[in-house]
Structure 1
Amino acid sequence: MYELKTKETDSSVIEFIEKIDNLKKREDAFKLLDIFTETTGYKAKMWGTSIIGFGSYHYKYESGHEGDAPLVGFSPRKAKISLYFATGDTGREELLQKFGKHTSGKACVYINKIADIDIEILKALINRSVAFLQKTYPQGGGAND
């Protein structure tokens, strides 16, 4: 049976951020921590070894695959900062057009630094993602201590 690699852990978010070698990336991670916490109202939790997630939801696909994931999150990786938003939300692309310098994949939006993006658009992306996932997966809509 498939085992999820990215699960919520009890690891310290602050300790994780403090171990980031690049000072600017560490400062940006603390800023993102504040923005995501303030915007979602959820306490940050580590998911796996490198994702800082906010809130959670339980998904179940028609294939039978199911699991838990953060509603939104970010990961200050060496190359770029990964921002995690809901997939399947068609309105996301419209906001991304006004977001600033970024690249995007299916689930991730990648930025180099916070100075490259519009913080108000980031907050809108966070709110939109949380609302979309809570509507799509109401049974597990956002529990987090």
Structure 2
Amino acid sequence: MYELKTKQTDNSVIEFIEQIDSSKKREDAYKLLDIFSETTGYEAKMWGPSIIGFGSYHYKYESGHEGDAPLVGFSPRKAKISLYFAPGETKREELLKQFGKHTTGKACVYINKVADIDAAILKALINESVSFLQAMYPAK
């Protein structure tokens, strides 16, 4: 049976941020922590060793695979900061056109620093992702 690696932990978000080597990346992590917390209304939790997540949802695929994941989150990695939003049928692509300097992966949006992006668009992306996931995977 497949075991999920990224699970919510009781590790301290602040201790994790304080261990970031780069002072600029640490400062950006605190800015993102404020933006995500204020926008979602959820307390930040560590997911796995390096993802700061907000809220959670339970998913179950037709294959029978199921698990829990954060509604949105971010990870201040060495190279870039990863932002986690739901892909899917949202206004994500439209919003990303106005977001600022970034690159995208399947479920991630990568930025170099918070100064490169529009905070209002970030808040819209967060809200869009939370709404999409809560509609797709309603709490029971």
For the criterion TM > 0.5, the same-fold answer is: yes
1:143 matched residue in structure 2: none
Report the counterpart of residue 106 of structure 1 in structure 2.
Answer: 106
SS of equivalent residue, structure 1 residue 88:
coil
CA distance in 1 between partners of 2:75 and 2:97 (Å)? 22
Task: State the distance in 1 between where 2:114 and 2:86 align.
Answer: 20
Q: Runs (4+) of structure 1 moved beyond 4 Å?
A: none
Match of 2:5 in 1: 5
- Distance in 2, Cα, partners of 1:90 & 1:122: 14
Gaps in structure 1 of 5+ consecutive residues? 141-145
Q: Does 1:119 align with 2:119?
A: yes
CA distance in 1, matches of 2:65, 2:139: 16
Amino acid paired to 1:44: A
Q: CA RMSD in A?
A: 0.7
- For structure 2, the 5+ residue unaligned runs are none
Equivalent in the alignment of 1:41: 41
User: What is the TM-score with the length of structure 2 in the denominator?
Assistant: 0.98
Secondary structure of 1:53's partner?
strand
Q: 1:87: Cα distance to partner?
A: 1.8
The one-letter code sitting in structure 1 at the alignment partner of 2:28 is: D
Q: Normalised by the size of structure 1, how large is the TM-score?
A: 0.95
Q: Deviations over 1:58-111 (max 9, x none)?
A: 000011110000000000000000000002134100000000000001100000
Aligned position for 1:139: 139
Alignment-mate amino acid for residue 89 of structure 1: E
- The answer to whether the Cα contact below 8 Å between 1:102 and 1:112 also exists between their aligned partners in 2 is yes
The answer as to whether partners of 2:35 and 2:123 remain within 8 angstroms in 1 is: yes
Query: For residues 95 and 114 of structure 1, what CA distance do their matches in structure 2 show?
Result: 16
